[in-house]
Structure 1
Amino acid sequence: MTVSFCGHNRFPNSEETEQWLTDVVSNLIEQGATHFYLGGYGGFDRLALRVMKKQKKLHPNIQYILVLAYLDRARDVEVAKDYDSTIFPPLESVPLRLAIVRRNTWMAEVCDVMVARVDYDWGGAATTLAHARQKKKRIILNPNYNE
């Protein structure tokens, strides 16, 4: 089972949010999740990475993978050191200004489950969540979202 994360760069990061995400990830691992895709750019991505590192100590068989939006970016090379591996989706012909959006779309398309911390219905995280819904993915949404 493959899990992707999506969430805002800025959000009320709290112990409650971290505990919610820890519980969600732990339950998904118990259900057979082994691959976790992260975008690596925003605040929610940093929280998800922190949670995944803790889970890796308990479940060494899981993989948390940085999904790159660009190739040959010095920042990505440095960030990639914190992940088990990286993957570059088929984005070679995508204009740079659309790379993150297309990467997020790819993550929504290839995952089995989307774990989302989305607090409002606009912006990149909301767009990614909408795409996952359109693709009929299983979605685990933070309890604070107001639909």
Structure 2
Amino acid sequence: MGGKTCFFIGHREASKEIYSALYAAVEQHIVEYGVTEFIVGHYGGFDHLVASAVKEAKCFYSEVKLTLLLPYHPAERPIPTPDGFDGTFYPPGIECVPIIRANRYIVDYVDYLIVYDWYPASNARELVEYVRRRKGQNHLQITV
């Protein structure tokens, strides 16, 4: 991963009503923070909204790349690179652990995290708490 990066974490259940705020956050991260690579997961409404927002932004900002975080090892469950994505990524060494470990791997290496977190008992909330506990150990900035 090169340049400034941003990862997204949110709940599967996400209304299309958040799209304009999500697009605004994507554009802000490009223009104000210099983000050139966005990484998104593959499941649920939030991930699909994120992918749509970044794809739209790519029409105006040619330097922007969209990467799909693979939930499973590509040799075991191949997922072709979806339309509008520039590539896929599977974190090394997590073949036998849950997807939450892939999310943790990513947040340990990105510069920014955009969060859609409204449900108290969720993997999204747990990841945000993980990041907040580690915040003093890295430079990650969180946008909620």
Query: Partners in 2 of 1:23 and 1:93 — Cα distance?
Result: 35
Per the normalisation by structure 1, the TM-score is 0.83
Query: Partners in 1 of 2:46 and 2:95 — Cα distance?
Result: 28
* 2:47 equivalent in structure 1: 45
RMSD: 1.4
Q: Is 1:118 aligned with 2:117?
A: yes
Per the normalisation by structure 2, the TM-score is 0.85
Query: Partners in 2 of 1:35 and 1:11 — Cα distance?
Result: 22
Structure 1 segments, 4+ long, off by >3 Å, are none
* 1:144 equivalent in structure 2: none
- Cα offset, 1:87, TM superposition: 1.1
Query: Partners in 1 of 2:103 and 2:35 — Cα distance?
Result: 19
Aligned pairs, how many? 133
* 1:81 maps to amino acid: P
Q: 2:93 aligns with which of 85, 88, 91?
A: 91
* 1:60 equivalent in structure 2: 62
* 1:48 maps to amino acid: V
In the alignment, is the contact (CA less than 8 A) between 1:108 and 1:131 conserved in 2?
no
Q: 2:8 aligns with which of 5, 9, 25?
A: 5
Give 5+ residue unaligned stretches, structure 1: 142-147
In the alignment, is the contact (CA less than 8 A) between 2:115 and 2:143 conserved in 1?
yes
Q: Is 1:27 aligned with 2:28?
A: yes
Deviations 1:8-28 (A, max 9, x none): 0013331xx111111111111
- Cα offset, 1:94, TM superposition: 2.2
* 1:11 maps to amino acid: A
- Cα offset, 1:122, TM superposition: 1.4
Secondary structure (helix, strand or coil) at the match of 2:130 reads: helix
* 1:67 maps to amino acid: L
Query: Partners in 1 of 2:100 and 2:57 — Cα distance?
Result: 28
* Structure with greater helix share of residues: 1
Give 5+ residue unaligned stretches, structure 2: none
In the alignment, is the contact (CA less than 8 A) between 1:69 and 1:91 conserved in 2?
no
Identity, % of aligned positions = 28
In the alignment, is the contact (CA less than 8 A) between 1:91 and 1:103 conserved in 2?
no
